[in-house]
Amino acid sequence: MKVDVAALEQYVGYRDRKYIAPAKAGERADEMETFKKDGQTARAAFSVLAKMIESELEHFTMQKISGWMNQGQMGRPLFFCYFNHEDTSRLDPTFAIRLLTIDGVLGISVEVSFIERGVVPETVARQNCVLDVPVSDGMYYFVQKDGDNQRVEGTEENRIRLLEQRASGSFRKVLVKIDIPDLGRFDSDKELVSEIMTGFRVLNPYYEATRNN
């Protein structure tokens, strides 16, 4: 089955729009039916991609894909999925993929992360061990501080600065990520999955650093 990139791109337009159950939407019932259908179609398209990645990741299992709306019933088109190693628990760091927009165009990021609803202080400390690994080409840091997220270029200078901030407790956590822009530019699903797998290989030393601490 081919990844329906067009369905993913279309659903981006629903971001942060309020969904109302059609039975309660009155004259907007048809609009909400379309909203729901487009959300379900986009989520299914992302699921196809995640399953393709799972088939390439030995000893990893994909977790539940994020919903097409959040608990506040707002459209959530930037889907994500975690991949857990078979020998780890929900409290261990993991690989993840996330849709995102890059210069207004739909792309995807790969990252070393952890499942937020399973977080404990020890997990955050292990997550931040990504800073113990020298920078690699193409990666960047995603730093969470006081509820805000900041992208930090992956340079040795920035890594040393973040290590100092880690020691002083200046931020909550830091992820390592690689962006893959413009999903529509790939001629085949095989090319897209190959690019994502390359990203996982680049990030593997960071994953191992979090896993072994």
Where does the pLDDT of residue 207 fall: very low under 50, low under 70, confident under 90, or very high at 90 and above? Answer: very high
Instruction: Summarize pLDDT for 153-201 with one digit per residue, the tens.
Output: 999 999 999 999 999 999 989 999 999 999 999 999 999 999 999 999 9
Count up the domains in the chain and report the number: 1
Residue 171 structural domain: 5-211
pLDDT of residue 122: 78
Round to whole Å and give the CA distance between 77 and 4: 14
Q: Write 59-64 long-range contacts (CB < 8 A, 24+).
A: 59/85, 59/86, 59/87, 60/84, 60/85, 60/86, 60/95, 61/86, 63/94, 63/115
> What SS3 class is residue 16?
coil
Q: Are strands 105-113 and 139-145 parallel, antiparallel or unpaired?
A: unpaired
End-to-end CA distance of the chain: 39
Of residues 20, 16, 11, 17, the one with CA closest to residue 40: 11
> What SS3 class is residue 35?
helix
Where does the pLDDT of residue 91 fall: very low under 50, low under 70, confident under 90, or very high at 90 and above? Answer: confident
Q: Give backbone dihedrals phi and psi of 142, rounded to 5 degrees, phi first.
A: -125, 105
Relative orientation angle of helices 29-56 and 189-211, to the nearest 10 degrees: 70
The residue whose two tokens read 């409290």 is 91
The distance of Cα 137 from the centroid of its chain, to the nearest Å, equals 19
The order of strands in the sheet holding 173-180 is: 60-62, 80-85, 94-102, 105-113, 173-180, 139-145, 148-153
Round to whole Å and give the CA distance between 150 and 179: 15
Q: What is the CATH number of the domain that holds 126?
A: 3.30.930
pLDDT of residue 90: 72
Round to whole Å and give the CA distance between 13 and 101: 11
Question: What pTM does this model have?
Answer: 0.92
Alpha-carbon distances, residue 106 vs 30, 74, 112, 162, 190 (angstroms) = 27, 19, 20, 29, 18
Q: Give backbone dihedrals phi and psi of 89, rounded to 5 degrees, phi first.
A: -100, 180
Where does the pLDDT of residue 88 fall: very low under 50, low under 70, confident under 90, or very high at 90 and above? Answer: confident
